[in-house]
């Protein structure tokens, strides 16, 4: 690629590049760039929302550059205040390490291992003395920190701001100094933190990093940012049929952004599809079938993509009973006094995050057993009554229950 073509390729989907001229100059040098992405391991799954920036790292790798993934094992114990209206709970080191272990191999579903460095910011932040922290703090003013929108809102609402939260942008910014980043990627909610890194690098005599900001992927509910806590996410570890089915459930207005941010389909093709949907010549469902196949292909391969498409069409278009629903043994923790309630079963099978979420799904008509809607969350069953039955949750999640 020419330099302008590289800039265009790398800028795909970006909301803002600070600055395009700086990116061009760095690329002109012809040497491998160090491209940083900081992640706080606060949950055990890599979602498609998280994958948006990981895939951008992959684009840099395909051009010969090095991805430097900063695992925030130190900063996760602070909790990133970005976009938060209240102080995040601080994680213990044990919680952080468990999440790191869960997500580390998921990174390589996207990144090229031999062009990836994984660094842990406890290596340099944890080694700082209190005097070092004071010297680092002197490099930014309180007024600058309080310019953050989320801090401004909290001040207006008289909500507390912890001193540790004020230090967070400095910690993340210092990561860029420690690894001598050329580029930093982040979501739009990370702009303040990324710019602190750019400014700190200049103060430490380094060439300031280019900041590339990606939009936050809206989740399957079509309303909120994709989040594990909200349950509106797709994990890169989801089984092909689940991944396909969840993608098919997204509202039509997300089709364009999901194609742009989650796939490699050309922007020209995406624009053509959107125009055809708007003109009525393309059914949105057919566009979503292509989207779902593309996403499954990326994480599971062409064969799994075709099989998931065939399964979906057979099961949903023809309204067949999903005889191929994956088997799920009824977990012991779902059996209380010899009986099983469905909210407890949904949590034990990791389909929902909580009993209350399961109760809401049931009361909304989203849970069936062998096609019979179960809306009473207090109803209980003997495990033998559930053996062999197909549990359906929402439109696209099926499990054939079996007794242990």
| 322 located within any domain | no
- Cα 110-220-377 angle, rounded to 5 deg: 120
Residue 316 has pLDDT above 80, yes or no: no
**Is pLDDT above 70 for 61?**
yes
Residue 130 has pLDDT above 70, yes or no: yes
Cross-sheet strand order for the sheet of 210-214? 16-18, 210-214, 183-187, 34-39, 66-71, 116-120
pLDDT band of residue 128 (cuts 50, 70, 90) is: very high
Q: Do 339 and 382 meet the contact criterion of CB atoms below 8 Å apart?
A: yes
pLDDT of 93 over the 80 cut: no
**Residue 388 in this model has a pLDDT that exceeds 50:** yes
Domain tally for the chain? 3
Residue 245 lies in a domain: yes
- Are both 339 and 311 inside the same structural domain? no
Rounded CA-CA distance 222/229 in Å is 15
Residues 297 and 336 in one domain: no
Please indicate, yes or no, whether residues 303 and 206 belong to a single structural domain of this protein.
no
> Is residue 165 predicted with pLDDT exceeding 50?
yes
Q: Is residue 225 part of a domain?
A: no
Indicate if the pLDDT at residue 299 is higher than 60: yes
Q: Evaluate whether 81 touches 150 at the Cβ level (below 8 Å).
A: yes
98 and 135 inside one domain: yes
> Is residue 167 classed as helix, strand or coil in its secondary structure?
helix
CATH number at residue 17: 3.40.50.620
Q: Place 236 in a pLDDT band, splitting at 50, 70 and 90.
A: very high
Q: Indicate the pLDDT class of residue 102, thresholds 50, 70 and 90.
A: confident
Provide the pLDDT confidence category of residue 33 given band limits of 50, 70 and 90: very high
Query: Among 317, 336, 360, where does a domain finish?
Result: 317
H or E segment and range at residue 116? strand 116-120
**Does some domain include residue 229?**
no
247 neighbors 292 (Cβ within 8 angstroms): yes
The residue behind tokens 């094992």 is 73
The stretches of 35-184 forming alpha helices (DSSP H) are 48-62, 93-107, 122-125, 130-137, 142-145, 149-156, 163-179
Whole domain around residue 308: which residue ranges?
240-317
State yes or no: pLDDT of 80 exceeds 70: no
Output the pLDDT for position 324. 62
Torsion of CA 67, 32, 14, 112, to 10 degrees: -40
**pLDDT score of 143:** 82
Query: Is 105 part of a structural domain of the chain?
Result: yes
| 290: Cβ contacts below 8 Å, ≥ 6 apart | 265, 273
Structure tokens at 257: 């952004």
Task: Tell me what the mean pLDDT of segment 322-347 comes to.
Answer: 84
Same domain? 272 vs 166: no
Cα distance between the two ends of the chain: 57
**Do 201 and 259 share a domain, yes or no?**
no
Share of the chain above pLDDT 90, in %: 49
Average pLDDT, the chain: 87
Vertex 352, ends 349 and 357: CA angle to 5°?
Answer: 140
Min mean pLDDT across 20-34, 79-93, 217-231, 372-386 is at 79-93
Residues 304 and 343 in one domain: no
113 and 179 both lie in a single domain: yes
**What whole-number distance in Å separates Cα of residue 397 and Cα of residue 164?**
41
Residue 163 near residue 145 (C-beta atoms within 8 A): no
Q: Say if residue 41's pLDDT is above 70.
A: no
Q: What's the CATH code of the domain at 336?
A: 3.10.290.10
Res 87: pLDDT: 47
Residue where a domain terminates, one of 266, 294, 317: 317
Whether 305 maps to a domain, the answer reads yes
Same domain as 185, residue 74: yes
Same domain? For 205 and 291 the reply is: no
Please confirm whether the linkage preceding 169 is cis (ω < 30° from 0). no
| pLDDT for 385 | 86
CA distances (Å), origin 150, targets 101, 161, 165, 190, 192: 31, 10, 11, 12, 11
Q: Are 170 and 137 in contact (CB under 8 A)?
A: yes
Say if CB 34 and CB 185 are below 8 A apart: no
- Does residue 12 contact residue 4 with C-beta atoms inside 8 Å? no
Q: How far apart are CA 255 and CA 218, in angstroms?
A: 11
Distance CA(51)–CA(13), nearest Å, equals 13
347 Cβ neighbours under 8 A, 6+ residues apart:
334, 353, 354, 355, 358
Q: How far apart are CA 375 and CA 365, in angstroms?
A: 6
Give domain status of residue 204, yes or no. Answer: yes
**Would you state the pLDDT for residue 323?**
52
**Mean pLDDT of all residues in 78-88:** 50
Residue 81 has pLDDT above 70, yes or no: no
Residue 256 is part of a domain; what is its CATH number?
1.10.240.10
Question: Of 298, 317, 336, which residue is a domain's last?
Answer: 317
Grouping H, G, I as helix, E, B as strand and the rest as coil, residue 341 is strand
Has this prediction a pTM greater than 0.75?
no
In this structure, the answer to whether residues 311 and 344 fall within a common structural domain is no
- Residue 86's pLDDT is 46
Distance, CA of 257 to CA of 242 (rounded, Å) = 20
CA 54 to chain centre: 9
Residue 83 pLDDT grade (very low, low, confident, very high; cuts 50, 70, 90):
very low
Asked if residue 302 and residue 376 are part of one domain, the reply reads no
Does residue 254 register a pLDDT over 60?
Answer: yes
Domain-embedded: residue 233: no
Mean pLDDT of 40-46: 74
């Amino acid at each position: 690629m020419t330099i302008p073509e590289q800039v265009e390729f790398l800028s795909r989907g970006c909301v803002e590049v600070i600055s395009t001229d700086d990116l061009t100059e760095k690329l002109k040098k012809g040497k491998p760039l160090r491209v940083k992405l900081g992640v706080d391991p606060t949950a055990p799954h890599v979602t498609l929302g998280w994958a948006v920036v990981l895939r951008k790292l992959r684009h840099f790798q395909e051009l010969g550059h090095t991805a430097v993934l900063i695992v925030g094992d130190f900063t996760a114990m602070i909790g990133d205040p970005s976009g938060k209206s209240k102080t995040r709970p601080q994680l213990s080191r044990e919680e952080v390490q468990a999440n790191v272990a869960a997500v580390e191999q998921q990174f390589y579903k996207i990144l090229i291992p031999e062009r990836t460095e994984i660094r842990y910011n406890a290596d340099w932040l944890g080694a700082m003395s209190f005097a070092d922290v004071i010297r680092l703090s002197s490099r930014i003013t309180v007024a600058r920190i309080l310019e953050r929108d989320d801090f401004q809102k909290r001040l207006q609402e008289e909500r507390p701001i912890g001193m540790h939260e004020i230090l967070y942008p400095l910690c993340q910014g210092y990561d860029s100094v420690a690894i001598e980043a050329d580029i930093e990627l982040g979501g739009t909610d990370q702009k303040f933190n990324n710019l602190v890194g750019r400014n700190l690098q200049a103060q430490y005599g380094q060439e300031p990093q280019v900041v590339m900001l990606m939009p936050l992927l809206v989740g399957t509910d079509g309303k909120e940012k994709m989040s594990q806590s909200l349950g509106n996410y797709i994990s890169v570890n989801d089984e092909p049929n689940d991944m396909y089915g969840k993608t098919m459930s997204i509202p039509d207005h997300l089709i364009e952004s999901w194609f742009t941010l989650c796939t490699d389909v050309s922007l020209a093709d995406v624009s053509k599809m959107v125009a055809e949907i708007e003109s009525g010549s393309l059914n949105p469902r057919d566009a979503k079938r292509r989207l779902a196949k593309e996403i499954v292909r990326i994480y599971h391969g062409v064969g799994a993509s075709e099989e998931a498409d065939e399964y979906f069409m057979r099961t949903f278009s023809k309204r067949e009973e999903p005889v191929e629903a994956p088997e799920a043994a009824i977990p012991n923790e779902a059996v209380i006094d010899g009986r099983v309630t469905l909210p407890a079963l949904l949590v034990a099978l990791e389909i929902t995050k909580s009993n209350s979420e399961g109760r809401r799904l049931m009361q909304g008509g989203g849970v069936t057993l062998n096609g019979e809607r179960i809306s009473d969350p207090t109803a209980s069953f003997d495990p033998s009554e559930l053996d062999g039955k197909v549990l359906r949750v929402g439109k696209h999640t099926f499990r054939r229950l079996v007794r242990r």
